[in-house]
Amino acid sequence: MLRPKVAIALLIVACATVPAVRQNPDDEHAVFAAILADPYTFDAPGMREHPALADLTDLHEYLQRWPRDGEVSELCELEFKGGGCTAVPRELPRLLTQVNQKPTTVGDLGLRTVHLSQWSEIPPGVTRILVLSKPAIDSQGTRALIAIRRVYPQPNFGPDGFMVYLEKHGGIWHVIRHGAQWIV
């Protein structure tokens, strides 16, 4: 028989523990590939000339400020980009925060990679750096949400970023909507 204080402590630990989210690595890689094939990703100053990709997902601090469940129900594009809104499954914003607790490697995606913690070692000529979050993929493996940040290699220039909602049809991930743009 557990003593009341021990039982309460175990209950608190059980409630505070975030269960590990297991996502299919092939789906994660395919979402990254869909993002890199999307022209919108590179539609910013410096993104078309000589971009590079950050070797780690590194948006966990931003995502900690991302609204919680029920606060985000849709992504809306900027008016000059066509406007329009798309509903986002309620579980994806929470899942996006959950799977991005720590930076992880993005792997080989065919774009030159750089390590953001080593600004002095960024190769000359890099005009912009793409930083991806780890994608949140729903339990059916058919809908995903990912955060993207585009950083200048000079630390004093502000980055911009946005969210992308994707759906999987016929085994292929497709970008459905960009939204939640920000500039720092």
Q: Is 104 a domain residue?
A: yes
Q: How many CB atoms lie within 10 A of CB 36?
A: 16
pTM of the model: 0.81
pLDDT tens digits in sequence order for the chain, 184 residues long: 445 443 333 333 333 334 455 678 899 999 999 999 999 999 988 888 888 888 888 776 667 665 554 456 788 887 766 778 999 998 898 899 889 888 888 888 888 888 866 666 788 888 888 999 999 999 999 999 999 999 887 766 778 889 999 999 999 999 999 988 888 7
Q: Is 100 a domain residue?
A: yes
Q: Is 57 a domain residue?
A: yes
State residue 11's pLDDT score: 32
State residue 66's pLDDT score: 58
Q: Is 179 a domain residue?
A: yes
User: How many domains would you assign to the chain?
Assistant: 1
**Residue-range definition of the domain harbouring residue 82:** 23-183
